[in-house]
Structure 1
Amino acid sequence: MRRRIHLFLSYLAPNWRTAVFLLLLLFTEVGLSLWNPQLLGRFIDRAVDGAEVDALVHIALLFMGLTVAHQIVVSLAGYFAEDLGWRATNRMRMDLTEHCLDLDLGFHKEKTPGELIQRVDGDVATLAQFFSTFTFQIFANVLLSLGILAISFEVDWRLGLVLLAFSVMVIPVLRRTQRVASPYFHRLRQDNADIAGFLEERVMATEDIKANGSDAWTKGRLDGLLERLRRTMRAESIAFRASSSALELSVAGATAAILVVSAMLLRGGGITIGTVYVSYFYASLLSLTLYRISNRIDGLQTAMAGMDRIAELSDRESAVPDTGRGALPDGPLSLTFDDVDFAYVDGRPILRRVGFEVPAGETLGLLGRTGSGKTTIGRLLHRGMDPQAGAVRLGGVDIRTVPLSELRARIGVVTQDVHVLNASVRDNITLFDPDVPDERIDAAVTALGMREWLDALPEGMDTRISAGELSAGQAQLLTFARAFLRDPDVILLDEASSRLDPATERIVGVAVRELLRDRTAIVIAHHMETVGQLDHIAVLDTGEVVEFGPRGELAGDTDSRFSALLGGAS
C-alpha cells in the first residue's frame, strides 16, 4: 500500500492545484448532500405546526436552489476529476514507455509486445477510471458517510449510535470483500495481458499460420486462454456478489432499527415527525453510500491491481545500467572483444571467451551457422545487453564506462528486421527529426540508388507509406538511408542484405562500400558475396571464435574454414 500511495502521489503532485480545487468541490458536494435533508425536516415540522405558506415556500425555494447548486458542483467535480485523471495517467504512459525503451533486450525478449501494450495502456487506463470512480464512488461517499454519522449524533444521540453500530458492522464486510476479491483482480489483469500478447504474436504471424496449416492449433490455444479468462471472471463475480449480498442484508437491518427507534422516540415526544423523516433519510443515504462503496470495490480492486503491475514495471531495473561517465575518443574507433562470455539463460552459454580486435577504420565479417552467436555479438556492441565476463572496448575504452546516449550516437545499426512506420518517406528516413536538411536526405537517397523509386511516388518524399506497400528490398533500403544520415563512427550490419534480391543487393553494395569507408564495422552475413570487400574475417562455431584473420590470408589458406566456405559458395 505504501508503494501504491507513493506512485499515486508522484503523478498527482504536478497537478496539485487541480487536486486541491477538486477536493474543495467534493467537500462542498458532501455539505450540500447533508444540508438538503435538514431543509426537508424543517419543512415537515413547520407544516405540522401550521406555519404560513410564505415560510414554507421560502424553504421550498431554498431547497430547489441548493439542489441546483449541488448538481452544478457535481458536474464541475466530474469534469475536473476526469481532467486530472487523464493528465496524470497520460504522463504515466509517457514515463512507462520511456522506461520500457530504456530496458535491456533481455526484458523485451521475456515480454511480448502485446503484454507491454496491456501494461502501458490497459493497466494505466484502469487508473484513469480510478480517479473518477474513486473520487465519486468511494472517497466522496466515505466523506458523506462520516458526515451522516456526525449529523445523526447532533439530531439524536440514540439514532447516531444505531447508525454507528451499523457502520462498525459493515466495515469488516467491506474489508472482507477486498481480501476475497483482490487475488482475482490481479489474475484478471494478467489473463487479459496474456490474451493481448497471444493475439499480437499470431496477428504478426498470420501468413506463416495460414501457409503451414496452424489455424486449428491457434484457435484451440486462444479458446484455452479465453476459457481461463471466463473462469477467472466467474470466480471474481461470485466472490464480489457474496460480499455484496451480506452488505445489503446489513443495510436492511440498519434501516429497520432506525425506524423502530424513531417510532419509540416519537411516541415519547423525544423527537418530531420531521426528525423522524431526516433520520430515515440519513439511514437510507448512509445505506446507499455504503452500497456505492461496495459496488465500486471491483473498480478499486482493478485499479489497485493495475497499479501494482505498473509499479512492478516501473521498478524493473535494466540489466544494462546507464552509469558510465567516461568518453570515447574522437574519430575512427578500434573495436576489441576481450574474452567475452554471455548467456541469455544461466547455464546455457551463447558466447565463450570470444576475443578479437579490429583496428580503427577497418571492417570485420562474422560468419557461422545459425545460433553460433553472431547476432549476440552485435547486441553486445551497442549494449543491448552486457556480457557476464570480459569486456567490449571501443577506442580502448570499456563501453560500460560510457553513457548510453553517447555510445549509441557513435554506432549505426542496420538489421534484417525492418520497421516501416505509417508515415511519410521523409519521416521514415529521418525518424521524425525535423532538423535534418533535405540536402542530406537527397544525398543518402541518391547514394543508395533510391532516386528512381522516390521520383515515381505521387508526392515524392512526402508520400505516406506503410510496411505492406513496400517490397522487402525497398524497406531494407530505408534502413540503410537512416544509417547514412546518422554518419556514425562504427557500423553494425546484421545480415542486412539477406532480404534483398540479387539485383537490389548489387545496387546496395555500392552504397555499403561508401557507408563502410573509413569506419569501423562488423558485418554479419550468410552470403559470401557480402564479405568480399571486408578486411578481416571471424568464423564462429557454438559461441567460440574458431578462426580469425585477414580476409585475404584466410581465403588463400586452403586449410582454413573461410576458404572452405568460399569453396562451398562457389
Structure 2
Amino acid sequence: MKVKKLGLIQVTQNVMKLNKLLSLGIIITVVGAVISALLPPLVLEQIINLLTSGSTVTIPLAISYFVLLALTSILDSLRESLLVVFGQKITHGLRSTLCEKFSNLPADMFVKQEPGAVVSRFVNDVDTVESLFTSGIISMFADACKVISIFAILFIKNKGLALVLLLLTPLIFLFTRMVQKRMLAAQIDNRIAVEKATNHVPETIKSIRTIHSLRKEKYMCEVYDKHIQDSYNAVEKTNFYDAVYSPIILIINAFVVAVVMLLSATGVPGIQSFFGMSVGTAVAVINYISSIFGPLESIGMEIQTIQSAVAGVHRIDEFLSLDERFETDENIDLNMLMESNRACVELQNVTFGYEPNSTILNNLSLTINTGEQITLSGRTGAGKSTIFKLLLGQYKADSGNVFIYGQDASKLPDNIKRKFFGYVEQHFRMIPGTVLEQITLFDESINREMAEKAAITVGLHSTICKLEKGYNTPCTSSLFSQGQWQLLSIARAIASEPKLLLLDEITANLDADTEQSVLKVLKRASENRTVISISHRLYQQTGGRQIAIK
C-alpha cells in the first residue's frame, strides 16, 4: 500500500464536504452573531438621546432593542451548539483516520513508538483538537471580527477614543503573544509528562510480578509520581498565565472608560472635538468599550485552548505523516502462487539490520522446498526470529531477496498472508472476544467448522465444549492453563489451513510434561505442510532438516 500524507486539514475538509449544511449554518450564525452584537448599543444611543432631549421613545424602537439582544443571545447559543456538533464530527473523523493509519504502519513503528505515546494521541490529543473547533479558533475568529467592527464604529462615534484604543492594541497584542508562547511551552511539557505517565501504568502492570519479586514498588511509585509532578508543574504554569491575563484586560477596560469620560467632561474645545459626545453616545461608547475588552478577554481565555490544541495537532500530524507499509500487490493469486515451480522459501544473499549500523543477517542464503520440515538453530540474536519477520513481510531486506514461491515476500497482500502463513509465537496474545474469536481473529473466511476442526487437531475441543458457553465463552486470562493457551495458539495458526507453518520457540516456557503434549500436537498439525521452526526439541521429535544461522 502506498504512503499517505494525511493531516488535520484534510480531515476537516472531508468533514465539511460531508456536512455542507452544518458548515453553512456555522458561517451564518458566526456572521449573524457579530452583526447583531453591534446593533443594540446603536439603538440604545437613539433611545437615550430621545429621552435626554425630552422626546418620546416609540414602542417599536424600545422593543427592537430587546429583540436585538435576544437575537444576539440566540445566535450565540446556536453557534456554540453547531460548533459542538462540528467538533464531534471532526473528532470522529480524526479517530477513524488515526485507526486507519495505525493499521497501515510497518512493524518497526510498534517497536520504536511507546504504547503510551500512541494512546495519548488517540485520546488526549484528539480531545484537544475537538476543543479547537468547539471553543477555540472559530470563536476567536468571531471575537476578532467583532473587535474590528467595533473599532470602525468607534472611529465614527469618537475619534479620540478610537485613537486611544489603537495605541493600546499593540501593547495588548504583545502581552497576548507573550502569554501564548509561555502557555504553548507549558502545554507541550504537559503532553510529554502525560504521555510518560500513560505509558508507565501498563508497563508497570505487565511487569507487576517482577516488581513484587524485586521489591521495587516504591521505585515504580516514585517514577510515576515524578511524571505526575511534571504534568502538575506544567499545568500550574498554564493556569498562572491564564489567571494573570483576564484581570489585566479588565483593569485596562476600566481605565480606558474612566479616561474617556474624564476627557469628554473637561470642556476644553480641543479635547472636546476629539472626545466630546452626547449622553446617548457616551452610553453606547461604554457598551462598545466593554464589547471590545470582552472579546479580548475571551481571546485570552481561548489562548489556552488553542495552544493546547496546537500541540495536539502537531503530534497528530506527526503521527499521520509516518511512512506506511511498503506497497503490496493486490493482484497476487494464491492458487497461481502455489502452482509455481519455485521453492517454497528462498533467501538470496539477504542482509538485514533493525538499525542503520547494526547487521543481524549478513549475506544469508537458504532454500526450503514444499513439504520440508526445517529447524533453524543458532545462538540467541543470530536472527532466527528475524527470518520469520522477513518471510511475513513485516520488514524488507536491506539487500538481497526474500521469495515465497518466487514472489517477493513483502509484496504479498494481507488476505494472502492469512491463508498462506500460520505463525505461532512463544506467548499467546489474547484479544478481546470469545474463544471462537481467539481462533478466527474475526476473519469471516474462517467459519465455525474450520475453527472446531483446528481445536480438535490440537486436542482442545472437548475442553472448550465443557465451558459455560462453549466456543462463545468470553476469554479471560484465567480461562486456560499456560499449555492450553499455547495449544489455542496453534489452533489459531492452523484454522485457515495455511501452507507454511512458522513456529517460534513455542515450547520455551512450558514444563516437560506440557511440552511433550504440545510437541505431539505439533506433529499432527505439521502434516502435509511446510514447517519452519525455531526449536531443537521439535527437531528431535519430528526430524527433518536443520539449518544453522550464524
Normalising by the smaller structure, the TM-score range is: 0.7 to 0.9
* Equivalent in the alignment of 2:77: 75
Measured after TM superposition, the shift of residue 191 of structure 1 is 1.8
1:73-472 alignment runs, 5 A limit: 73-134=75-136, 137-238=139-240, 247-248=249-250, 250-263=252-265, 271-318=277-324, 320-322=325-327, 324=329, 327=332, 329-331=336-338, 334-403=344-413, 406-407=416-417, 409-434=419-444, 436-472=446-482
CA distance in 2, matches of 1:88, 1:475: 41
Corresponding position: 1:21 with 2:25? yes
Q: Residues 479 and 151 (structure 1 numbering): CA distance in 2 closer, same or farther, change over 3 Å? A: farther
Q: Residues 263 and 509 (structure 1 numbering): CA distance in 2 closer, same or farther, change over 3 Å? A: farther
What SS does the aligned partner of 1:470 have? Answer: coil
CA distance in 1, matches of 2:103, 2:73: 45
CA distance in 2, matches of 1:248, 1:435: 67
* Contact 1:335/1:520 (8 A) holds in 2: no
Match of 1:493 among 485, 490, 503: 503
Measured after TM superposition, the shift of residue 456 of structure 1 is 1.5
The code of the aligned residue for 1:294 comes to G
TM-score (norm 2): 0.88
Which structure would you say has the larger RCO, counting Cα contacts within 8 Å and 6 or more residues apart?
2
Match of 1:34 among 19, 35, 38: 38
CA distance in 2, matches of 1:516, 1:14: 51
Q: Which digits, 9 at most, give the CA deviation of each residue in 1:314-340, with x for residues without a partner?
A: 11114x422557736432761012222
* Equivalent in the alignment of 1:523: 533
Measured after TM superposition, the shift of residue 279 of structure 1 is 0.6
* Equivalent in the alignment of 1:532: 541
Measured after TM superposition, the shift of residue 118 of structure 1 is 0.4
CA distance in 2, matches of 1:425, 1:27: 57
Q: Residues 135 and 243 (structure 1 numbering): CA distance in 2 closer, same or farther, change over 3 Å? A: closer
Measured after TM superposition, the shift of residue 127 of structure 1 is 0.5
The code of the aligned residue for 2:22 comes to T
Measured after TM superposition, the shift of residue 285 of structure 1 is 1.4
CA distance in 2, matches of 1:260, 1:132: 41
Measured after TM superposition, the shift of residue 160 of structure 1 is 3.4
Measured after TM superposition, the shift of residue 528 of structure 1 is 0.8
The code of the aligned residue for 1:313 comes to F
Q: Residues 528 and 511 (structure 1 numbering): CA distance in 2 closer, same or farther, change over 3 Å? A: closer
* Equivalent in the alignment of 2:47: 43
Q: Residues 455 and 70 (structure 1 numbering): CA distance in 2 closer, same or farther, change over 3 Å? A: same
- Greater shift in the superposed pair: 219-228 or 378-387: 219-228
CA distance in 2, matches of 1:349, 1:339: 13
Identity level (%): 24
Measured after TM superposition, the shift of residue 245 of structure 1 is 6.1
Measured after TM superposition, the shift of residue 372 of structure 1 is 2.7
Q: Residues 445 and 280 (structure 1 numbering): CA distance in 2 closer, same or farther, change over 3 Å? A: same
TM-score (norm 1): 0.85
Q: Which digits, 9 at most, give the CA deviation of each residue in 1:123-175, with x for residues without a partner?
A: 11110111111156422212221222233234344443333443343223223
CA distance in 1, matches of 2:298, 2:394: 49
* Contact 1:44/1:273 (8 A) holds in 2: yes
Measured after TM superposition, the shift of residue 95 of structure 1 is 1.7
Measured after TM superposition, the shift of residue 263 of structure 1 is 4.0
What SS does the aligned partner of 2:19 have? Answer: helix
Measured after TM superposition, the shift of residue 293 of structure 1 is 0.4
CA distance in 2, matches of 1:499, 1:324: 38
CA distance in 2, matches of 1:484, 1:351: 29
- Greater shift in the superposed pair: 344-353 or 507-516: 507-516
CA distance in 1, matches of 2:67, 2:295: 23
* Equivalent in the alignment of 2:3: none
Q: Which digits, 9 at most, give the CA deviation of each residue in 1:29-79, with x for residues without a partner?
A: 2222222223333332233334447x25x4443333333333333333222
CA distance in 1, matches of 2:481, 2:497: 26
* Contact 1:336/1:357 (8 A) holds in 2: yes
* Contact 1:322/1:404 (8 A) holds in 2: no
Measured after TM superposition, the shift of residue 499 of structure 1 is 4.2
- Greater shift in the superposed pair: 307-316 or 212-221: 212-221
CA distance in 1, matches of 2:530, 2:445: 27
Measured after TM superposition, the shift of residue 397 of structure 1 is 2.2
Measured after TM superposition, the shift of residue 304 of structure 1 is 0.3
The code of the aligned residue for 2:180 comes to Q
What SS does the aligned partner of 1:491 have? Answer: strand
The code of the aligned residue for 1:26 comes to V
Aligned residue pair count: 536
Measured after TM superposition, the shift of residue 511 of structure 1 is 4.3
- Note the residue ranges of structure 2 that are not aligned, 5 or more in a row: 1-5
Q: Residues 200 and 275 (structure 1 numbering): CA distance in 2 closer, same or farther, change over 3 Å? A: same
Measured after TM superposition, the shift of residue 402 of structure 1 is 4.1
What SS does the aligned partner of 1:518 have? Answer: coil
What SS does the aligned partner of 1:276 have? Answer: helix
* Equivalent in the alignment of 2:65: 63
The code of the aligned residue for 1:288 comes to G
Q: Residues 226 and 530 (structure 1 numbering): CA distance in 2 closer, same or farther, change over 3 Å? A: farther
